[in-house]
Amino acid sequence: MSTDVQASQGTSFPLNPKLGSADIETEPIRMGFGRGLLEAGRRDERVMALCADLTDSTQMSLFKKEFGDRFVEVGIAEQNLATAAAGMARNGRIPFTSSYAAFSPGRCWEQIKTTSCLNEMPVKTVGSHAGLITGQDGATHQMLEDIGLMRIMPGMVVICPGDALEAERATIAMAAHPSACYLRLARDKTPVFSTPDSPFEIGTAYVLREGTDVTLIGTGTMTYELLVAAEILADQGISAEMVHVPTVKPLDEETILASARKTGCVVTAEEGQIAGGLGGAVAELLGEKAPMPVKRLGVEDRYGETGSPRELLEAFELTGEHLARKAAEFLRAR
Rounded Cα distance between 56 and 71, Å, is 13
pTM score of the predicted model: 0.95
The secondary structure of 118-176 as a DSSP string is TTT---EEEEESBSGGGGGG-TTT-B-SHHHHHHTSTTEEEE--SSHHHHHHHHHHHHH
Q: What is the pLDDT of residues 299-316, one digit of tens each?
A: 999 999 999 999 999 999
Distance CA(98)–CA(298), nearest Å, equals: 25
Contact at 8 Å (CB) between 73 and 53?
yes
Q: Based on the residue annotation, tell me whether 305 is a catalytic residue of this protein.
A: no
Comparing CA positions, the residue from 32, 274, 244, 243 lying closest to residue 151 is 274
Interior/surface letters 316-330, b for 16+ CB within 10 angstroms, e for the rest: bebbbebbbbbbbeb
Pick from 208, 151, 209: nearest CA to 181: 151
Contact 189, 133 (CB under 8 A): no
Rounded CA separation 316/38 (Å): 35
The confidence score (pLDDT) of residue 135 equals 73
Question: HSE of 309 in the Cβ direction (CA atoms, 13 Å)?
Answer: 15
Query: How far is it, in rounded angstroms, from Cα 173 to Cα 108?
Result: 24
On the CB side of 77, how many CA atoms lie within 13 Å of its CA?
10
Encoded amino acid at 62, one letter: L
Q: Pick the catalytic residue: 25, 66, 78, 145?
A: 78
| H helix intervals, the chain | 5-8, 29-43, 61-66, 78-90, 109-111, 146-151, 164-176, 222-235, 253-263, 278-289, 309-315, 320-333
Q: Which residue stretches of the chain have pLDDT < 70?
A: 1-11
Buried b or exposed e, range 106-145, using 16+ CB within 10 angstroms: bbbbebbbebbbeeebbbbbbbbbbbbbbbeeeeebbbbb
Q: What is the pLDDT of residue 9?
A: 45
Can you give the pLDDT at residue 173? 98
Classify residue 276 as exposed, middle or buried by CB count within 10 Å of its CB (0-12, 13-18, 19+): middle
| Cβ within 8 Å of residue 257, ≥6 positions away | 285, 286, 289, 290
